[in-house]
Amino acid sequence: AGARARAQAGARTVTGSERVKALGSGAVLGGGQASSSSVSMASMVGLESKNRSNTNMSENRNDIRNDTRLLPRVTNKSAASSANTNHNTNNNTNNTVNNVNNANRNANNNAKFSVNKTDNSNNFTATEPLFRSTVVAHLAHHQAYVSTCRFVEDQPHLMLTASGDSNCILHDVNTQKPIRVFQDHTGDVMCLEHIRGTTTFVSASTDCTALLWDWREKNPRVMTFLGHESDINDITLLPDKSRFVTASEDTSARLFDTRSCRQLQIFTDIKDVCSWSSVSASSSGRVIFTGSEERIHAFDTHTGHLIQNLDAHSGRVTSLRLQPHGYALASGSWDSTVRLWVAN
């Protein structure tokens, strides 16, 4: 009896809230106490669900409050609908203004170039003159016709010209004065090519020679290349900048090397005895094309062998140029046509 009295005095009733806290903290209560408690498992689940619902509602209120910072505060559904409509209208108006501004900006950019496509065909219409009609430089230092003019690519204020007066001239376009005159040819200078990135260029003449010049040197003529037996009509540089090819009235083209100062190859076609008036090289330098009377020849620069003949025109082929990627060849002729040849 005394032990029972002490046990009852030390015992304490566990309330429902304490039971919930104990469960939430991971405590384990006796099964008898759990079954006799006034808080059942269903009520615990309901309480947890109610707490989660209250938390979600609080988060939703925060989200709504954050969103309404961007819009005017509204009091009813019709006002909210009106505000959303106005907001969308403003966005559409802003987009329209931006599109118009972009269109005007693009139109201004296109107008700078003054040439626009008129339709989906290959026809172009000039809306304004491409260049000013006022001459900004007048270079009148030759005494005969000018056969070639070339800008110095890495120094655009400099220009090289060749003439029938047997001279080449280096001009300063800004001052319109000659910087240097090159006078060692004894015939009309028909063509020249500047070697990019250097102060050197190659010229060819009706005196059957090609000359390499350096305008820094006291004696600018650096090398003389012989071999042709008649007028040299055209010249082209190979991509390595150390070799060049000439086309001549002697029905041949020749490959020269500026490093060894000698001729490397001669290209001929025994079936073509007409003068050769033009030459062009592929972007790799492996193939060259020469133009003669009515025909185009293709040669391998490594072997010198003829690769192909094209019966191209009804007159002399005076100009040849390959498209930069090598996909097409353009030829111009005395027959008043330009023709394009597409690679296989």
- 277 Cβ neighbours under 8 A, 6+ residues apart: 233, 234, 247, 249, 291, 292, 316, 317, 318
Token pair 């330098």 is found at: 285
Contact between residue 253 and residue 276 where contact means Cβ atoms under 8 Å apart = yes
| 299, pLDDT greater than 90 | yes
Give the mean pLDDT of the chain. 76
Could you read off the pLDDT of 38-65 as tens digits, one per residue? 444 444 444 444 555 555 555 444 444 4
Would the pLDDT of 10 be above 70? no
> Pick the residue with more confidence: 273 or 144?
144
Which 3-state string (H, E, C) describes 70-114?
CCCCCCCHHHHHHHHHHHHHHHHHHHHHHHHHHHHHHHHHHHHHC
For residue range 34-45, what is the model confidence (pLDDT) as tens digits? 444 444 444 444
Instruction: State how beta strands 210-214 and 221-225 pair.
Output: antiparallel
- Range with the poorest average pLDDT among 86-95, 124-133, 174-183: 86-95
**Chain segment 307-344, per-residue pLDDT in tens:** 999 988 989 999 999 988 888 999 999 999 999 988 87
Q: 141 vs 72, which has greater pLDDT? A: 141
Higher-confidence position of 139 and 115: 139
pLDDT at 96: 55
Give the other-Cβ count within 10 Å of 169's Cβ: 21
> Tens of pLDDT along 139-195?
999 999 999 999 998 898 999 999 999 999 999 999 999 999 999 999 999 999 999
- What pLDDT, on the 0 to 100 scale, is given for residue 55? 53
pLDDT band at 296 (very low <50, low <70, confident <90, very high): very high
The band of 95, judged by pLDDT with boundaries at 50, 70 and 90, is low
Q: Average pLDDT, stretch 268-279?
A: 89
pTM exceeds cut of 0.75: no
Looking at residues 12-27, what average pLDDT do you find?
A: 45
- The predicted structure's pLDDT at residue 131: 72
Q: Which amino acid is at 112?
A: K
In the predicted model, is pLDDT for residue 87 greater than 80?
no
Q: To 5 degrees, how large is the angle CA 332–CA 139–CA 144?
A: 65
Q: How far apart are CA 45 and CA 40, in angstroms?
A: 9
At residue 77, does pLDDT exceed 50?
no
